[in-house]
Structure 1
């Protein structure tokens, strides 16, 4: 259990409603519900009475709330003690990322950055993950959160934050796509829902090419989040990064397929033009991500 889990718990306890807490935390109610279930499993007790509206803490939940508040207060005191220097640096940074990246990385990164550089104006743009690298190459964004492409331009520098496996996903009810219930799947007959472009599409194409298979593409969409939604509707099999699936409100309506060999995982991180990394603002953001 980490500090983010404790912050999520405190918000749910304060709002007494998953919907309101989801708005405050910029995460879907289903994502918060899964995190709460994981906390209850780790704590070994039910923390909220689910049959009550508004949500009510159980006796164990009240003890957990006290623990969470004390732990977070101690953590804030520690951070204040070791980060006494606040910079007077001013200016602005334009950062581009997908919606999923904003859920997974942005809040933590920007919280730490704002603590150190409160006078810097952060301009955040979100959109299709496939547009991330082109945006930083064109200068439309100073820095992006993206998956490292297979061939990184010599003019760019990439800093990995975390890996993310690339997964085949299918509807929860496998009967809606009977082709994948066979012992030996004929992938040429499986309806596929794939991204129009980007790294995931490139790796899926390589996977099929290596097997001499021409995929049956049912739909092509812009954005990985839409793939999860379409697969949940039962139209076919999709391929998405694990981070996308983890943050999707439709995650409970799909299942991960054990497909071998596995697709090469993504390396997700920051990317910027190399010649600009000596600029004070970009250097400050880069160092914040390192810490």
Structure 2
């Protein structure tokens, strides 16, 4: 068992597809299969269930996955410590954020980070921002950009970068609920809503329903990912309460089909960086944390 074997194993855990992992990791499928078999022989248990249609990780495989993540992190940290006599950071940093955050917040941070630490390899994955904390806790990501959840887990640190305003998005084109929406007092009980599955936005939407005394809202769909919700509003499926930044970073042809209503519907929420507290001592993560800290960035600009 070596570091390369563990990296191949972790990639296969994500894809559950031998061909995809073999292509991405530049090995032949037969080589990948032999290395996975070698790991299974080492641990004495099957790590995957294979058949002609799918590959599934076993319970033992999940435990080995956690072990592999820890070993690779420790290996990277050791490499950093050994190679840092010239103060250059070298290694891989796994980032997670929504597609919107990749446009709205990440570029400025990465610009600063890459200037100071050009030898750090950034691995970016995108998905539902509501999953950010879970990605951090499971070590699937080293750092995530997300809204601050209602309750921050004890082992997670959050660095505020700014605030996100919530807005109500409605379709411009006439729809089956247009008459109810454009009344002097909208008939919210009979207007279809498209909701995020969970996360800070969903928490504020649920509070808004209570404030409006909407005990049984008409829900058209619950969707993972704010970007998909904007598209559904544009298609006339319903209305949505979403972070304004999602609307602002949507494609123009989508924005043209949507109207933004009152921006005073609810309080904004904090957006920032999430990381495991115990990992803030790792130099690559600490460097990214400092590159994201508004106070440190402003002080640096003032010094110039």
TM-score w.r.t. the length of structure 1 is: 0.67
Q: Which residue of 2 aligns with 1:257?
A: 261
- CA deviation profile, 1:40-95 (whole Å, cap 9, x unmatched): xxxxxxxxxxxxxxxxxxxxxxxxxxxxxxxxxxxxxxxxxxxxxx9511122111
- CA deviation profile, 1:172-196 (whole Å, cap 9, x unmatched): 2356522111111221111111112
Report the 3-state secondary structure (helix = DSSP H, G, I; strand = E; otherwise coil) of the residue aligned with 1:145: strand
Structure 2 gaps, min length 5: 1-85, 298-304
Report the 3-state secondary structure (helix = DSSP H, G, I; strand = E; otherwise coil) of the residue aligned with 1:263: coil
Partner Cα distance (2:203, 2:174) in 1: 26
Q: Which residue of 1 aligns with 2:189?
A: 188
1:63-212 to 2 correspondences below 5 Å? 87-173=87-173, 177-212=178-213
| Kept in 2: contact 1:195–1:220 (CA 8 A) | yes
Structure 1 residues 174 and 259, CA, compared in 2 at 3 Å: closer, same or farther? farther
Match of residue 275, structure 2, among 247, 251, 272: 272
Q: Which residue of 1 aligns with 2:239?
A: 237
Equivalenced residue count is 205
Partner Cα distance (2:164, 2:174) in 1: 25
Partner Cα distance (2:130, 2:88) in 1: 35
Q: Which residue of 1 aligns with 2:42?
A: none
Report the 3-state secondary structure (helix = DSSP H, G, I; strand = E; otherwise coil) of the residue aligned with 2:203: helix
CA shift for structure 1 position 209: 2.1
| Kept in 2: contact 1:224–1:244 (CA 8 A) | yes
Max Rg structure: 2
- CA deviation profile, 1:16-57 (whole Å, cap 9, x unmatched): xxxxxxxxxxxxxxxxxxxxxxxxxxxxxxxxxxxxxxxxxx
Partner Cα distance (1:109, 1:93) in 2: 13
Partner Cα distance (2:263, 2:119) in 1: 48
Partner Cα distance (1:211, 1:245) in 2: 24
Partner Cα distance (1:120, 1:235) in 2: 43
RMSD, matched Cα:
1.7
Name segments (4+ residues, structure 1) moved above 3 Å.
173-176
Q: Which residue of 2 aligns with 1:79?
A: none
Partner Cα distance (2:165, 2:261) in 1: 13
Partner Cα distance (1:131, 1:150) in 2: 13
Match of residue 217, structure 1, among 199, 216, 219: 219
Structure 1 gaps, min length 5: 1-85
Q: Which residue of 1 aligns with 2:289?
A: 286
CA shift for structure 1 position 287: 1.1
Partner Cα distance (1:148, 1:207) in 2: 18
Partner Cα distance (2:160, 2:288) in 1: 14
TM-score w.r.t. the length of structure 2 is: 0.64
| Kept in 2: contact 1:174–1:180 (CA 8 A) | no
